Structure formats: C-alpha cells, structure tokens
Amino acid sequence: MKPIIITVVILFIGLFIADVSQATDLPSTRKSRRVLGKVRPILANDLLSRGLSLSSPIFIRIFKKSGELEVWVENLKKYKLFKTYKLCRFSGSLGPKIRRDDRQSPEGFYFVKPNQLNPSSQYHMSFNIGYPNSYDRAHGRTGSALMVHGNCVSIGCYAITNEKIEEIYTIADAAFRGGQSFFRIHIFPFRMTKKNMEQHKNSKWHGFWKNLKKGYDIFEDEKRPPDVMVKNKKYVFEKS
C-alpha cells in the first residue's frame, strides 16, 4: 500500500475512533433513546429548512427578564439563530447566584460537556450548566447542580417544560455526536442594550453587568461566542 493511502486510512480510522469515543461519553437511558428517536427526524427537517444541520455546533443564550432561551447553530463559521424558547420558570430575580440555597438562578458564562447531560433527571431531562465556574469560585460563590431542565419547577434552575427540553437535549446530543467537545451557554439578566443598561444603572449589580456586556457585545458583532477567561476576578474575552 502506498504511503499516502496508508496516511489517509490512518486519519480516517482516527476520526472514526474519536467520533465513537465522543458518542460513548454521552449518558444514555431507555427514555433518552426513545426521545431522541422521536425528536431527531423532526428537528433535522426543521433545521434543514433553515439551511442548518442537526449535527453542527450549538450555542445557547438565556435572558431572565424576557424569559427566553435562544439556540444558535453554527453555519459557515458564524452562528445563526435557530429558535427562541420561552422559559417556564427560573428562581429569584435579576442578578447572579451567590450561595447555596439562595433560590437564585445564575448569570454568567458557562459551558456544557457531554457528561453534563442528564437523561435521568427528576425533571424529565436536563443538562448541568456548569455553575460554579472559575469566576464564581473566585468570588466565593457556592452551590452546585444548577440545570436547564423540563417541568415547570425551579429551585435555582431554569425550567423550560418537558416538550422543550426534549428538543434542546436532542440538539445538544447531536452536536456532541457531530464532534463538538462542549457548547457555551451565556446567561444574562436582560438583553444588554444601552437602553437596558441605563434603566438598571442603579442596581448593585451594574458593575457586574457591565463586565457581562463586553462578552455580549462581541457575540452581537461577530456572531461567534467569544473565548472567556477569568483574570483578577473579572471576565476577559477574546474573539474566537
């Protein structure tokens, strides 16, 4: 066999193994397999009609004030809005989560890996948003197991009903199977426009929200979520 053919074969085998490894990291139950089998064909057709693919990378944004969760799908290196879902319930008010049992839903920049999907959730299906992140830990914030889940009950989580979580879970599962190693989820108190920032300028969280706005603005301009780091207890951003 010629060297160039051997190289191609090795690369193909490596990609195949990587894809299988990615898929085997995904939690699975009888219920999740049933849900995925039911929802995948519907979503695939819906995405295709918008020029998008079910296996493409995704990005999620949540806005508390308007009660919205957006799912964005990558297309030609930019992200295109696929669908906006209405939240059913979240906990607390505008502002970040500070401590365990404060009944407050988080705000900030998080990411979700395959093992954070939970098909066995007591609220139908869910995924862990990754709170606390490095920013939260730098500020001494406590709590854990904060989810986006089904049903319409919240004790710090974002509840979105069973039907909607089935769609979002299926999109996330497909993105991971397509090779995305994690997806970002950015959570804001409201759309970070100049008008909204001005309306909330007297909030004790205004400084925190000004920091969030920097990441918000990069995505609004670039239609790609920025890379996010934490330095000196603040979020810092780079275009991805």
Determine the Cα–Cα distance for residues 77 and 72; give it in Å rounded to an integer: 12
Q: How many residues does the chain have?
A: 240
136 touches 187 (CB < 8 A):
no
- Write down the pLDDT at residue 4: 45
- Whole-prediction pTM value? 0.90
Determine the Cα–Cα distance for residues 192 and 98; give it in Å rounded to an integer: 21
CA distances to 30, 109, 110, 165, 183 from 133, rounded to whole Å, are 31, 8, 7, 23, 14
Options 149, 152, 186, 200, the catalytic residue: 149
64 touches 189 (CB < 8 A):
yes
- Write down the pLDDT at residue 24: 57
Q: Is 152 a catalytic site residue? A: no
- Write down the pLDDT at residue 22: 53
Q: Is 88 a catalytic site residue? A: no
- Write down the pLDDT at residue 223: 98
Residue pLDDT tens, the chain, 240 long:
554 444 433 434 444 444 444 565 899 999 999 999 999 999 999 999 999 999 999 999 999 999 999 999 999 999 999 999 999 999 999 999 999 999 999 999 999 999 999 999 999 999 999 999 999 999 999 999 999 999 999 999 999 999 999 999 999 999 999 999 999 999 999 999 999 999 999 999 999 999 999 999 999 999 999 999 999 999 999 999
> Which two structure tokens, joined as six digits, stand for 44?
């695939």
Domain regions of the chain by residue span: 26-238
What is the architecture of the domain spanning 26-238? Beta Barrel (2.40)
Options 124, 157, 200, 206, the catalytic residue: 157
- Write down the pLDDT at residue 105: 98
